[in-house]
Amino acid sequence: MSQKIAVLDYGMGNLRSVSKALEHVAPNAEVRVTDDHEWIRRADRVVFPGQGAARDCMAAIGQHHLNREVREAMESKPFLGICMGLQVLMAFSEENAGTELLGIFPGEVKRFAADMPGDNGLPLKIPHMGWSRVDQSASHPLWEGIEDGARFYFVHSYHVVPEDRSLVAATTDYGIEFVSAINRGNLFAVQFHPEKSADDGLMLLKNFVNWKPE
């Protein structure tokens, strides 16, 4: 029996490219972009993509009544957060003069400083957009077949600062060292876009599809 993978549809995020990438690495799975609560509960795995503003994201989650489904999925099955799907796991964002998030983990989402110097001494562009190294903080099944320091594609102006450093699964340098992936139990979440990150991104998605958390 093929496994079911739910890509959470709350009206935001690059949903089609995420679902197509999952279909590519898991051709026998049933991948569905959905906000149907029952289907999400029955899914074997859940992917929470997202992009855009934190306040809009939180409002959209509420409008689709997905708060409980998100929390239950995080506790009960393999769960992958992508970009905003990482940031909303924190408690609070600096965006829009302060936005309350899901509060799954203590921590904040902070904006990159506008005057961060690059290697040439000139201020780095914000948002951080393009390919950057991802330095793995510890071994994990989702890193299998991916070299430490592999480059992934980013598009973001904010980064997470979790209070619990044991959550950190990877860091990236862009003016400062920031957290680019976290892991706890059956949850893994990344700041970069694996669906836009060529072979290494597809490998991470394939690893997620095959992941059996202990």
Q: Among this protein's residues, is 83 annotated catalytic?
A: yes
Cα distance between residue 115 and residue 183, in whole Å: 30
**Whether 134 contacts 192, CB under 8 Å:** yes
For residue 174, give Cα distances in angstroms to 8, 129, 130, 167. Answer: 29, 10, 11, 20
Dihedrals phi, psi of 97, to nearest 5 degrees? 60, 25
CB atoms closer than 10 angstroms to residue 6: 27
Which residue is catalytic, options 128, 156, 159, 193? 193
Which residue is catalytic, options 57, 69, 83, 95? 83
Q: Among this protein's residues, is 140 annotated catalytic?
A: no
DSSP SS3 for 166: helix
User: Active-site positions?
Assistant: 83, 193, 195
